[in-house]
Amino acid sequence: MMKTSQCIDNQQERVALFPGSFDPFTRGHESIVRRALPLFDKFVIAIGVNADKHPFMTMQQRKQWIQDVFNDDPRVQVITYDGLTVDVARQVGARFIVRGVRLIQDFENEKHLAEVNRDLTGIETILLYTLPEYSHISSSIVRELARYGQDVSSYLPQGMQLPQPE
């Protein structure tokens, strides 16, 4: 009979990748990470380049911001990447991709991506629904409000402030 500790030792480390542009990283993103963390040994937040978007914050600002939010949890690593998400998932040893879903349209998009990613690599995608209190928050809305000088602090992780536009 195998002891419990032997079973755990034989399992692969459960590494998840949470990809996105995170421009900016919102309370909704933070909620997804904090709720998913208990499921994994290591959680890699991967900030990707989105050629279709004009960034509000630099890649380095976003990386530092997210590191500051999770500086108390050694399971969280923050990286940047340019290229296919599945390629970076393989590079960091992720067996899972975590995505947040706010709306039915998000589900449709994520379902198609999950199927392609699984076909290409065998990596499974786990969808977490956004908590109702954060479902109206999106990075694009936060960026738009901030551009017009509105207070967006209630949409951002506690204690975080957007950089001032130059």
Annotated active-site residue 27? The verdict is: no
User: 133: closest CA among 32, 11, 58, 15?
Assistant: 32
Annotated active-site residue 102? The verdict is: yes
Catalytic residue among 27, 62, 139, 143: 139
Annotated active-site residue 14? The verdict is: no
Catalytic residue among 34, 35, 42, 102: 102
CB 118 within 8 A of CB 89: no
Phi, psi of 148 (to 5 degrees): -100, 20
Annotated active-site residue 139? The verdict is: yes
Catalytic residue among 27, 29, 63, 99: 29
Provide the phi-psi class of 140: left if phi over 0, else alpha when psi is between -120 and 50, else beta.
alpha
Catalytic residues: 29, 53, 102, 139
